[in-house]
Amino acid sequence: MLEASPLVDGWILRHEGEALAASVPGCVHTDLLAAGVIPDPFVGRGEREVAWVGRREWTYERELPGVPSGHEQTDLVFDGLDTAAEILLDGRLLGSVRNMHRSYRFDVTGASGRLTVRFASAYAEAEAVRGRLGERPAAYAEPYQYLRKMACSFGWDWGPTLVTAGIWRPVRLERWSTARIARVRPLVTVEQGAGVVELRVEVERTRVEAGLTVTARVGGAKAHARVEGTSAVVRLEVPGARLWWPRGYGGQPLYDVELTLDQEGEALDSWRRRIGFRTVGLDRRPDAHGTGFTLVVNGERLFARGVNWIPDDAFPSRMTRERYRERLRQAAGAGVDLVRVWGGGIYESEDFYDACDELGLLVWQDFPFACAAYPEEQPLRGEVEAEARENVVRLMPHPSLVLWNGNNENLWGFRDWGWEGRLAGDSWGEGYYLGVLPRVVAESDPTRPYTAGSPWSGSWAHHPNDPAHGTHHSWEVWNRRDYAEYRAEVPRFVAEFGWQAPPAYATLRRALPGEELAADSPGMLHRQKADDGDGKLARGLARHFAAPEGDFDRWHYLTQVNQARAVAAGIEHWRSHWPVCAGTVVWQLNDCWPVTSWAAIDGDGREKPLYHELRRLYADRLLTLQVRGEGLVSAAVNQSAEPWTGVLRLRRMTVDGEVLGTADVQLAAGARAVGVARVPAELEPTGAKEFLVADAEELRALYFPLPDRDIPYPAPEFEVSVAPGSVTVTALTLVRDLLLQADRLGPDARADRGLVTLLPGERVTIGVTGWETPDADAARAALYCLEPSR
């Protein structure tokens, strides 16, 4: 039977003649940090102090133990090397590698001695390739498009420039005889009520002998097949298999698949995975509105409630199974049912996809290409196809994976960012997105759809970012306009949009110790990576609120309010136009370090107000008030399986609490549908002091006709009481966008809700965890709300 021995201990990292203890898996930065050689790049402006690390060559070493007899072959297996490296054993070159996204296997049968992994600087490798293949344009000046490495290692508009190197995934020795399982492609389908698994198996052999057999088991079914040459196909049917569904649509039953390879009854190797039975498709048919983009799972058409996922740590080797699960549980807790793994990062570990399988989170997987023209010549072309084939097969078992996507914004960039003229006919990646990658997916994983890019209209017949065709990235609003303009169009699928805000206060205090915080203090400026990001934040804020001059706490609160308001403006509008619009994917769920960004969860894992707002926006039932045509409508968005009927109570009010008029309107929305009703004209608010309240069951929608800066809010008055695990606020006036910043009570404190608006006399109880000594004065000091414009 194949035996595997992890090579975890005994590694050293060579640094200026010294041998430092090294962690494997790991990276140079984390080893240097552990040894006290470099400061924490996440604290202060430490990022700048460690820039030299990415420019150096680095060497990892350990003894490779002698291999006991009893097996015919011994392989040295690296699951991931970052990125350009030579592997040597006692000075003999085993091989050279240049792709972070691949695994590698070397025959070391009968060998032992000093194992050396010598990493070149990623900059040196990238610049050498650029010198051979020529310059290619990109969104950033760093040379990330010239090697197969996590692009955001080189910095992004939310990420630090920390160019890593190291053995970032596990390494082991595998000892085996006769044959081993080299690859398994599980094609999982549903046919006439039965779950069907077809396992396409490839084996590696030390010698050609007859009698190799594969046996597969799943869900009580069992089947055998003989290995012919180096391949076999075994098919199993599971009658009555329960379907795997995305969260909110059904359960997530998972089935264990076990495959064994044996010779005349002797087990040689085994392969185990979990699968789920479901069908998935992508409806891209043209219609009266353009070209659709609707995910279909088990025949059910979905409005995708999505978030974009970036690497959760700038040093991905630090990610653990527990941390993946924590972050993805947060996503599910916000009502998310789709996570897009963005193309400037990595193919994530099995832990990520396992958690998505269990939580019912659909996965949209980008191939790792982002915001650049990528050369298509060697040595990159062969690496791209090899990594695609490996990772498509690796991730195939996961039922959560429903879409392969060729790239992020490169087709758009070619058309709109001045690339075409600069390239002058040079290759730029089109051959990957419209040739290599769809071919690999069709050959290896025909059970899932592929799309060439995001955004992408489906063909060059339409602009790549045409909102009427395919996927759309809505960035003009953040870059140049007011977020109210999200309501100006109804894209078919919004794959990226978002608004910035700083991280939680406690996160800033940890990351910037001793700094007097201000919007433009040195540490805050260092944590604004977006082009004119602070200018866009300020202009976006000024359209709605009076500027909080010199008051960091108010600025911090208002920018977080504005982020939640902006995202709400888009999602409420687009969800209310289902099925024309079939999904929103917020940029972004998470951060990889403490930074001002578009994230809903900051770099320390703390939830911004946007996170809690997503819980409302992505709930199965959403109530919203929208301007359509000449008046107001209420939209009841119902993504549940049951019809939603009832009475919608409307109240026209003043900010001083006076009720000017009321009406009851019948609410009716079918299952997975939207019900729209006209608001009576006499209830539409006029002037700065009026607003409209809509209540149905436990849901509420508000409509204010003017920006907050023009509304004469009363001075907020409220009472506060505390109890173990809760803070209760009773409003004596209108209290707009009340927020308990729980992390100001203590760095471990968390609140169970975000922004809430209370009418006079209303009360809210906010659950708080991690706060050991409840105190009413401390709670009041941590409460923020809108105040009259000064």
To the question of pTM greater than 0.95 for the whole model, the response is yes
Task: Categorize the per-residue pLDDT at 66 as very low, low, confident or very high, splitting at 50, 70 and 90.
Answer: confident
Residue 607 is a catalytic residue: no
What's the rounded Cα separation, in Å, for the pair 310 and 523?
23
Please tell me the total number of residues recorded for the chain in this structure.
Answer: 790
Higher per-residue pLDDT: 613 or 789: 613
Task: Check residue 790 and give its pLDDT.
Answer: 61
pLDDT above 80: residue 384? yes
pLDDT digits (tens, 9 = 90+) for 571-622: 999 999 999 999 999 999 999 999 999 999 999 999 999 999 999 999 999 9
What is the mean predicted confidence (pLDDT) over 209-226? 92
Residues 6+ apart with CB under 8 A from 617: 335, 567, 568, 571, 572, 575
Task: Check residue 757 and give its pLDDT.
Answer: 98
- The β-bridge relationship of strands 266-275 and 304-309 is unpaired
pLDDT above 90: residue 400? yes
Domains of the chain: 3-174 (2.60.120.260), 178-275 (2.60.40.10), 280-507+575-617 (3.20.20.80), 621-710 (2.60.40.10), 718-784 (no CATH)
What is the mean predicted confidence (pLDDT) over 150-165? 98
pLDDT above 80: residue 69? no
pLDDT above 90: residue 789? no
Active-site residue, from 348, 409, 430, 572: 409
Lowest mean pLDDT among 58-72, 123-137, 616-630: 58-72
Task: Check residue 682 and give its pLDDT.
Answer: 96
Task: Check residue 711 and give its pLDDT.
Answer: 96
pLDDT above 70: residue 275? yes
Task: Check residue 224 and give its pLDDT.
Answer: 94
pLDDT digits (tens, 9 = 90+) for 523-570: 999 999 999 999 999 999 999 999 888 899 999 999 999 999 999 999
Q: What mean pLDDT value characterizes the chain?
A: 96
Task: Check residue 598 and give its pLDDT.
Answer: 98
State the DSSP H helix or E strand holding residue 609, giving kind and residue range, or none if neither.
helix 609-617
**Separate counts of helices (H) and strands (E) for the chain:** 17, 44
Task: Check residue 166 and give its pLDDT.
Answer: 98
What is the mean predicted confidence (pLDDT) over 442-454? 97
Query: Taking phi first (over 0 means left), then psi (-120 to 50 degrees means alpha), and beta for anything else, what does residue 299 get?
Result: left
